[in-house]
Structure 1
Amino acid sequence: MTASLGKRIGWLNTEGLLRLWLLVLAPLSYLFFVYNLVLDYRAGGHSWKQGDWLINGQNGPVRRSFAGDVILPMSDALAMDPVLLVIVVQVVVVALVYVLSLRLALSAGGAAPLILALSPAFFMAFWVTDPLGSARKEMLAFAALLLFAQGVIRPSLVWTALGCALFLVAAAAHEALLLFLPVFWGVLCLAPGTPGARGKVVLLSLTSTAALLLFLSAMGSSRVEDFMTVCAPLLERGVAEHMCQGAIRWLEYDAVHGFDFVYSRTTPELMFWFLLAYAASVAPFAYVAYLTDARRLCAALIILPFLLFLPLFAVSTDHGRWISFHVFAAFLLFAVAIRLGRVRLVRRLNAFLLTGLFVAAQLIAPMHVRDVYFGGPVARVWEEARALLP
């Protein structure tokens, strides 16, 4: 009777349990994300999580200032705390990322996209494991890619255009997000001959040109001599001074300083744990590739995103975030390929191996600054819950 009921409701088989895990993880992860934003607001904001969004060019051209140049006038017009306005934007954009990711994973069909979500670097888990790695501008690129992917799958030029427009916002907000541009082309290459493909190629070509121009413009003002010129407009609006000690202060440094900083803090022990966490993060993708009838394509969908974000590892110690970039891009490409029938599972799932992947994700997970956290998102939530108890 239990087996019959399990078959009827679809939760007591392997795929059903994977689906259940994702449907539990997603809302809890989002609520945890919002909870941490509330803590940020009560502390007057976080110098990286909100500070990065408040970089502005009110006193002269500054790279990464687009978000701040939009938010500050809006906060003035609304008579609203700039930090609170940033948090509202973050809550809305991340909600879009969660909804579209769930839609993509569940609509692709089968267990493969659900297995990929077991990765400890998948954003739903990663942002819980280390909240300091969340609420950053990459959420704009994530949302843009998800919108674009919906436009390719449906197919719909409107969704595609929305994704392209949001990506230009992302590229203007942070020049490093240009590295996501080839992922858009990868999505398009997975859907040759679909209705409206020619129009999407033209649209993405125009978007690529505009994004490259934005990148060149950012490189023209790559360094700030005194971070207080960026901080001053915030202080005038009552923003706490500590907000200038993170992303804003880092504007004084260039890529050479970043490289030296990474090199000076590289040790064999750190590299060991970093590589172990990376292996745990990509293991679900390797397993899905093994299960499919398109191993070469799957290998390309794993390796090419890694190569895209490889330069970031040399200039910043935010290695966990760079792993999450890789994992998100690979997840999106896999899900689109599966949804379009380019990749199919031809081998049976192994419950023992899946359990191992889940346990590995809980045992060791990447932190945003080249470190590991033992316990993954489950342990992090438990730790936070215990701290709230009397």
Structure 2
Amino acid sequence: MDDQRDEQPPEVDEGRVAKPSRVEAASATAWVIRARQLREPALRNACVLTFGFFVFAWRIAARLLDDFQQGGDRWRQADWLVNGAVRRGAFGDVVLWVADAADVAPVSLVILAQAVLLGGFLLASYVAVARLRFPSRLTLLALSPLFVGFWAWDTAGVGRKEILVYGAMGVLLAAPRSWAALLFSGALFSVAAFAHEAMLLFWPLFVAALWVCHRRGAPRWAVLCASLGSLGLSLVALVSASAFYGHGQPSQICAPLLARGAPRTLCGGAIFFAGDSLAEAVAFTARSARRGWPFTYVAYAAGSLGTFAALWPTRASTRSAALVVGAGALFAPLWWVAVDWGRWLNFHATSITVLLMLSAQREGECARELRPSAFWLALCVGLTWMVPHYVEAAPRWGPLGDAAAVFVARLFRL
């Protein structure tokens, strides 16, 4: 009997659960932490931003691929190939020299550079928002029609020379504490100034981005070298461009390109206007604005100023508003000399968005979440219409507006 009692299994309390092992507990804790890190609304924002940037990248890549198949566009690639003793000609001469040395067509080299710069900036912007765990406000800014979406839905602005400046800012987004990244960024900004003298207008905002990097741990000497070096070289580029303003004939500029197999259609846009004087440019802009939609751009500018001032992560709203207004005023001269008014809004919106991404790197800043209804409403409003590239063009539908128009047309068989 004693042996039988010894062989009976011990009683188990069904209300108690066995404790997990240390390995199981650590694994479960890690999954809980990850789930909390990507809980709503961060997971929602991550999915929306990932899908949006994928669509943007696809449309931009399709535009560049079409340009490659057509032998180049008279604005998007021809602007990079202005050469000779004319304004911005030194940059084009270097592009032709590199193309000859690499034994590739100049247009192909330009498209490759555009793809690398645009892709790098897209990736750097995405990573910057992801570091902050996809806050709602920065997610909406990254998807706004004045940021990357401007290139995706009005492809006339894809790959223009300002992407050299955006590439420099993208380097700061990717590695804000690296002295090598700061020096490379300053060198890339200097190249942008030689490519187009108007890029000098970005310099105060570029220095502000460098200063934010210094506050995040970048060495002071690298910030000073990048700031002063880019300023000195940019002033040299400005003096050089001023000396050749109004010089050059389209036939002289286009001849080296035709000799390298470029199509003649490449000579009708940026190259055709390369020799215009400042007075001619101002007169053409005035005529275009009178028959265009100027108030559309004014409304977008006012809306963006208020939006950026409200989102700035500092408590001093007056100071942040003054900074945003001052940043917009930097590009005010461009509104008088060229018809690319949507492009000038993109200049302001992109540079301020980059500054917001850089200055909001500490956890908690720009992290005040929106209500789901407010987030979706702001996203839908931002994607319903877009600002066109040229002042002569009428306001255009954005991706949601296009989809709604197609749905209505099919519904009523229009």
Tell me which interval the TM-score lies in, with the shorter structure as reference length.
0.7 to 0.9
Superposed displacement of residue 76, structure 1: 2.5
How do 1:195-274 and structure 2 match up within 5 A?
Answer: 195-267=218-290, 270-274=293-297
1:43 matched to which residue of 2? Answer: 70
Superposed displacement of residue 224, structure 1: 2.4
* Separation in 1, partners of 2:276, 2:157: 20
User: Once the two structures are superposed, what CA deviation does each residue of 1:247-284 show, in whole Å capped at 9, x if it has no partner?
Assistant: 01111212222211121222487123222343555564
* Change beyond 3 A, Cα 1:96–1:214: same
2:355 matched to which residue of 1? Answer: 333
* Separation in 2, partners of 1:267, 1:356: 34
1:351 matched to which residue of 2? Answer: 372
Counterpart among 309, 317, 320 of residue 295 in structure 1:
317
Question: Does residue 203 of structure 2 align to residue 176 of structure 1?
Answer: no
User: Once the two structures are superposed, what CA deviation does each residue of 1:161-206 show, in whole Å capped at 9, x if it has no partner?
Assistant: 1101111111111111111111121123335554512442233212
Report percent identity of matched pairs: 28
2:87, 2:242 within 8 Å by CA — same for their partners in 1? yes
SS across alignment from 2:64 = helix
* Separation in 1, partners of 2:198, 2:297: 22
1:91 matched to which residue of 2? Answer: 115
1:18 matched to which residue of 2? Answer: 45
2:103 matched to which residue of 1? Answer: 79
* Separation in 2, partners of 1:44, 1:355: 41
* Change beyond 3 A, Cα 1:301–1:356: farther
* Change beyond 3 A, Cα 1:199–1:77: closer
Stretch of structure 1 that moved more, 34-43 or 345-354: 345-354
1:49, 1:132 within 8 Å by CA — same for their partners in 2? yes
2:380, 2:400 within 8 Å by CA — same for their partners in 1? no
2:162 matched to which residue of 1? Answer: 138
* Separation in 2, partners of 1:280, 1:360: 12
Structure showing greater radius of gyration is 2
SS across alignment from 1:359 = helix
2:18 matched to which residue of 1? Answer: none
Aligned length: 372
* Separation in 1, partners of 2:198, 2:302: 24
Question: Does residue 144 of structure 2 align to residue 119 of structure 1?
Answer: yes
* Change beyond 3 A, Cα 1:85–1:206: closer
* Separation in 2, partners of 1:128, 1:157: 33
User: Once the two structures are superposed, what CA deviation does each residue of 1:341-376 show, in whole Å capped at 9, x if it has no partner?
Assistant: 7x8347542333333321221222111112454431
* Separation in 2, partners of 1:148, 1:72: 29
* Change beyond 3 A, Cα 1:130–1:9: farther
Aligned CA RMSD, in angstroms, stands at: 2.8
* Separation in 2, partners of 1:82, 1:195: 37
1:64, 1:175 within 8 Å by CA — same for their partners in 2? yes
* Separation in 1, partners of 2:335, 2:137: 28
Superposed displacement of residue 17, structure 1: 2.4
What amino acid is the match of 1:319?
W
Question: Does residue 382 of structure 2 align to residue 361 of structure 1?
Answer: yes
* Separation in 2, partners of 1:381, 1:167: 38
Stretch of structure 1 that moved more, 47-56 or 14-23: 14-23
What amino acid is the match of 1:131?
T
What amino acid is the match of 1:126?
F
What amino acid is the match of 1:325?
F
Superposed displacement of residue 46, structure 1: 0.6
Unmatched 5+ residue regions in structure 1?
385-390
* Separation in 1, partners of 2:129, 2:367: 19
Stretch of structure 1 that moved more, 210-219 or 240-249: 210-219
Superposed displacement of residue 237, structure 1: 1.3
* Change beyond 3 A, Cα 1:36–1:268: closer
* Separation in 2, partners of 1:255, 1:18: 45
